[in-house]
Chains A and B, each alone.
Chain A
Amino acid sequence: DAGVIQSPRHEVTEMGQEVTLRCKPISGHDYLFWYRQTMMRGLELLIYFNNNVPIDDSGMPEDRFSAKMPNASFSTLKIQPSEPRDSAVYFCASSLHSSNQPQHFGDGTRLSIL
């Protein structure tokens, strides 16, 4: 299995620009999660989907953040407009519906907003 695939791996952009992060979950997984990791705040859940439907977006920091999952094999996390404090590593993870299965993480996108 290819695992969770994220793109891009690295993104450097200027403040105010739109940023789109992409994720392809493991085939057959019905849960998809977006996390943000920083030194100060650790690993934070932003939003998660079940069967392509957003279930909990209470972790999304502001209206500048939005996430979509148009089908079972693709999700995006968009930041518009971006700010320097959005700089972090963003992870996508997926899992099977069964509660005894762990979440499988992608390699992450390292985002730097200048």
Chain B
Amino acid sequence: ELKVEQNPLFLSMQEGKNYTIYCNYSTTSDRLYWYRQDPGKSLESLFVLLSNGAVKQEGRLMASLDTKARLSTLHITAAVHDLSATYFCAVALYGGSQGNLIFGKGTKLSVKP
């Protein structure tokens, strides 16, 4: 059974600081997704990571994937208040169809001035 663990689950940051959110998963996977959810809103796709060593960046967010360690990281650089949201990683079973996505519990990020 594929299990996905995110940590931390809650993160309070000062503006301007850097931090990393971790996503560990328990079995082989070839696809990992990061999503953002604002309070009361839908989930918005941030990154799709498809291979070992994949790195993607958008603004102050950078995601990476290490399939050998079964680990993905979401790095936040010089945080700003607008980044406050809940971030989810979702992992697909290796060779599985689009439907076999398992979501982590989410990391609730709060960026304070």
A-side residues, CB < 8 A to B, are: 31, 33, 42-43, 45, 48, 50, 55-56, 91, 93, 95, 97, 99-108
Point out the residues of chain B lying under 8 angstroms from A55, CB to CB.
97, 99
In the complex, number of A-B residue pairs with CB atoms less than 8 Å apart = 53
Give the residue among B33, B42, B92, B100 with the most A Cβ atoms within 10 A. Answer: B42
Given contacts A43-B88, A108-B42, contact A103 B101 (CB under 8 A): yes
Q: Does B50 contact A (CB under 8 A)?
A: yes
Bound Cα distance A105, B33 (Å): 13
Considering only CB atoms and an 8 Å cut-off, how many residues of chain B contact the other chain? 22
Task: Please judge, given known A-B contacts A55-B97, A105-B42, A107-B41, whether A100 and B50 are in contact too, CB under 8 Å.
Answer: yes
Binding site for A on B (CB under 8 A): 30-31, 33, 35, 41-45, 48, 50, 88, 92, 97-101, 103-106
Q: Is A42's CB under 8 angstroms from B106's CB?
A: yes
What residues of chain A lie closer than 8 Å to B103, measured between beta carbons? 42-43
